[in-house]
Amino acid sequence: MHACSVLERVIIENMKKSKRVLKLLKFDCGQCSSCCRNIIVDVTGPDIERLAEYTGMPADKLVRLYSNEEIDDRKEDKEASDWIKLSYGKRTIGLNKKRNGDCIFLLNDKTCEAYDARPMTCRVFPVTRVIDDKDEVVDLEVSDVITDNTIKCKRIKGNGRSYESFMALARLASDEEETYSKKVKEWNRSIDKGVKNDFLNFLGFKTST
Ligand code: SF4
Ligand code: SF4
């Protein structure tokens, strides 16, 4: 028996990771709708654009701005670029909710009214991307809202998705996040901070007022 070289250790680690990652993708949604209730669904500009076109709703009805306190448990994770500086403080953007905390698109039969235009966050869930400092997707994991028991995901073993199709989606999601982050940084550098609709208008969206 001989000690592993660094290269061998990297190969073994990658093999273990790819087995774990492939297993992670082999599930079908149990349609319990837990991920559509009581959690904040992050959105980017391209998500809002798809939803506005699909639903015909003005951007300000589609999204809500969330304060630090509302996303308290995530504040350490949020990068500065996600925060939108407004005249009344900094906020981050997510899908709007009903009064009971459900996503505005969740129907009584637990299906999604905007499924074909749902945000990237919903498309990749319950998998989360691990991204390096060059914005490359370097690993996949189970979403932390599941590992920390915020929600119980009733996914079931199934065919799931291929690694290639998932990674294509993951890269597209990362590209869209990067584009959106640049716009937020541009907004944050401007002197007149404005309010929610000013920010949405700055992104190029129609609002109801
Ligand atoms: S957009 Fe659809 S899939 Fe996403 S949280 Fe809302 S109801 Fe669920
Ligand atoms: S929590 Fe899991 S099983 Fe339930 S709807 Fe979301 S992805 Fe599907």
pLDDT at 74: 52
Please work out, in degrees rounded to the nearest 5, the angle formed at the alpha carbon of residue 89 by the alpha carbons of 195 and 180.
65
Residues having CB closer than 6 A to ligand 1 are 36, 41, 95, 103, 105-106, 112, 114, 118, 122
Query: Does any domain span residue 172?
Result: yes
User: By alpha-carbon position, which residue is closest to atom 1 of ligand 1?
Assistant: 118
Query: Does any domain span residue 57?
Result: yes
Is the minimum distance from the CB of 169 to ligand 2 under 6 angstroms?
no
Q: Which residue has the tokens 């592993």?
A: 4
Is the minimum distance from the CB of 33 to ligand 2 under 6 angstroms?
yes
pLDDT per position as a tens digit, 149-207? 989 999 999 989 888 899 899 989 989 999 999 999 999 998 778 999 999 999 999 99
Question: What is the position in ligand 1's atom list of the atom closest to the CA of 122?
Answer: 4
| pLDDT-based confidence at residue 130 (cuts at 50, 70, 90) | confident
- Residue span of the structural domain in which 91 resides: 6-190
Query: Does any domain span residue 203?
Result: no
| pLDDT-based confidence at residue 80 (cuts at 50, 70, 90) | very low
pLDDT at 2: 54
Q: What are the φ/ψ torsions at residue 155 (nearest 5 degrees)?
A: -65, 155
Given a cut of 70, whether residue 11 has pLDDT beyond it is no
pLDDT at 75: 45
In the chain, what percentage of residues exceed pLDDT 70? 89
Q: How would you class 77 by CB atoms within 10 Å of its CB: exposed for 0-12, middle for 13-18, buried for 19 or more?
A: exposed
CB 82 within 8 A of CB 94: no
Give the pTM: 0.87
Residue 163: helix, strand or coil by DSSP? helix
| pLDDT-based confidence at residue 46 (cuts at 50, 70, 90) | very high
Whole-angstrom distance, CA of residue 114 vs CA of residue 127: 20
CB 103 within 8 A of CB 36: yes
Is the minimum distance from the CB of 27 to ligand 2 under 6 angstroms?
no
Strand partners, 64: 94
| C-alpha 77, offset from chain centre | 13
Query: Does any domain span residue 17?
Result: yes
**156 CA from centroid of ligand 2 (Å):** 9
Q: Which tokens go with 9?
A: 């250790």
Of 29 and 132, the structure prediction assigns the larger pLDDT to 29
Please work out, in degrees rounded to the nearest 5, the angle formed at the alpha carbon of residue 59 by the alpha carbons of 53 and 62.
90
Whole-angstrom distance, CA of residue 107 vs CA of residue 79: 32
Q: What is the mean pLDDT of residues 25-54?
A: 94
| pLDDT-based confidence at residue 111 (cuts at 50, 70, 90) | very high
Given a cut of 70, whether residue 79 has pLDDT beyond it is no
pLDDT at 15: 64
Query: Does any domain span residue 73?
Result: yes
Query: Does any domain span residue 198?
Result: no
pLDDT per position as a tens digit, 89-106? 999 999 999 999 999 999
Q: How would you class 209 by CB atoms within 10 Å of its CB: exposed for 0-12, middle for 13-18, buried for 19 or more?
A: exposed
Q: If we measure between CA atoms, which residue out of 181, 182, 178, 208 comes closest to residue 196?
A: 208
Please give the tally of structural domains in the chain.
1
Q: Which residue has the tokens 């490359």?
A: 136
Query: Does any domain span residue 208?
Result: no
Query: Does any domain span residue 207?
Result: no
Question: What is the position in ligand 2's atom list of the atom closest to the CA of 156?
Answer: 3
Of 207 and 73, the structure prediction assigns the larger pLDDT to 207
Whole-angstrom distance, CA of residue 28 vs CA of residue 6: 37
User: By alpha-carbon position, which residue is closest to atom 1 of ligand 2?
Assistant: 153
Of 175 and 75, the structure prediction assigns the larger pLDDT to 175
Q: Which amino acid is located at 133 in the chain? A: D
